[in-house]
Amino acid sequence: MTSPFEIVILRLKDLGFFQFFLPFILTGTIFYGLLRKSKLFGEPEKNIAINAVISFIAAFMVWSAPIITGVDMQAQMARFFMQGLIAMLVPLLGILVIGMFLPEGATAKLEEAFKGRARLALVVIVISVFIGILFSSGLGSFFFPSGISIGVGIGSEWILLIGMIILFVLTVFAIR
């Protein structure tokens, strides 16, 4: 027997609550926060309405495009966010465990170690992980519907592999 909670969830799913409304609210909130932080239209306290309207319109444009074009991104977005969550949690838990065993004053040494090229290497690693998650979740096919091709007959998997190897080599040289 189904519970009332299951019935509500299934009705919300039928209405497109999880496919459109929640991602729309999340995107609008991110846009609103970025507009407030960047102070693009002046002080955020004075331009609440302008920031809200622009973030609302931008979020609507972002989430109406898949509906207008007829593309269903729900499964890919769910995989993307789940893989992204795991990719963020694993290093954070590692840092937490390492932090429990470090002696006092070790954080200053770590801050000194992550300046210059090491910070650049970290940025390259984060970008490569993001690109990997983007394509492994299936969202790469949304951005590149016909696949990635350079006209030589090489498949998109090989092009991505070569690109990741190049990013790895750049990371190694950035660390040196």
Please provide the DSSP assignment of 53-122 as one string. Answer: HHHHHHHHHHHHHHHHHT---HHHHHHHHHHHHHHHHHHHHHHHHHHHHSPTTHHHHHHHHTSTHHHHHH
For 24-60, write each residue's pLDDT tens digit. Answer: 898 899 999 999 999 888 888 888 889 899 999 998 8
Residues 95 and 50 occupy one common structural domain: no
Cα–Cα dist 59/51, whole Å: 12
Residues 20 and 37 grouped into a single domain: yes
More confident residue, 142 or 83: 83
Total tally of structural domains belonging to the chain: 2
Query: DSSP state, 144?
Result: S
Pick from 37, 69, 101: which residue ends a domain? 69
> 60 and 84, same structural domain?
no
* Residue written as token pair 């004053």: 105
Range of the domain at 8: 4-69
Question: Where a domain ends, among 69, 84, 99?
Answer: 69
Q: Is the dihedral of CA 159, 160, 164, 170 positive or negative?
A: positive
Nearest one of 43, 175, 166 to 113, comparing CA atoms: 175
For residue 89, pLDDT over 90 is answered with: yes
- Residues 102-124 have pLDDT tens digits of 888 787 887 787 777 777 777 87
Single residue among 17, 50, 69 that ends a domain in this structure: 69
Do 81 and 122 have their domain in common? yes
C-alpha span between 50 and 59 (Å, rounded): 14
Residues 49 and 128 in one domain: no
Do both 110 and 38 map to the same domain? no
**Residue 172 phi/psi, 5° resolution?**
-60, -45
